[in-house]
Amino acid sequence: MERYDELGGSLYDIRYTEEQQAKYELILDEINEPDLLLDNGCGTGLLLHLLECTVVGLDLSSELLKKAKERAKKNQHLIQSDSENLPLRNSIFDTVVSITVIQNLPNPDRLPSESARVAKPGSSIVISSLKRVYSNEEIAKLVESDGLCINKIFTRENINDWITVSTRKQ
């Protein structure tokens, strides 16, 4: 949190916008737009303008959330919280997206389990991680260990992440 608060929203956007947008475009090609989506680790809200659905954006950094608030539409809500202990009810989201967050967590195995907990059965869950932190096999093992069935793991040349698209088991 301190590292991202120090970085601030404007510097974060300068540093990460291009690559994050490329990831979001790939992800949106893989999923149907849901009624209710959780953007777990929403940062400055770069995904928000690409969606028309109701979104809950969650991030630990108050500075990044300030920038996200500027981007949020009327049906997009922001929460400052921890990705490992989501303050949300079970089985409410149609889709959960967590992009380039898991490698920053003290207990990365909590992210897939919390994502599965708040997603409805059969929902899509997208988790990406930096390739330099996890191999393809390591991220597959981490994601699939918690009630999630991986449908696809992919990447692109200009992207530094492995992207997993999973479904919450019934």
The answer to whether the pTM exceeds 0.85 is yes
Q: Quick one: residue 76, left, alpha or beta (phi over 0 = left, psi -120 to 50 = alpha)?
A: beta
Structure confidence by residue, pLDDT tens digits, 38-50: 999 999 999 999 9
Residue type, 18: E
Structure confidence by residue, pLDDT tens digits, 2-26: 555 455 555 666 666 788 889 899 9
The percentage of the chain sitting over the pLDDT mark of 70, rounded to a whole number, equals 90
- Fold observed for domain 2-168: Rossmann fold (3.40.50)
Q: What is the reported pLDDT for 119?
A: 97
Q: What is the C-alpha separation between 31 and 123, in angstroms, rounded?
A: 10
39: which 2 tokens? 């953007």
Structure confidence by residue, pLDDT tens digits, 141-161: 999 876 899 999 999 988 999
The percentage of the chain sitting over the pLDDT mark of 90, rounded to a whole number, equals 79
Axis crossing angle, helix 2-30 with helix 62-71, rounded to the nearest 10? 40
Q: What is the reported pLDDT for 5?
A: 47
Chain mean pLDDT for the chain: 91
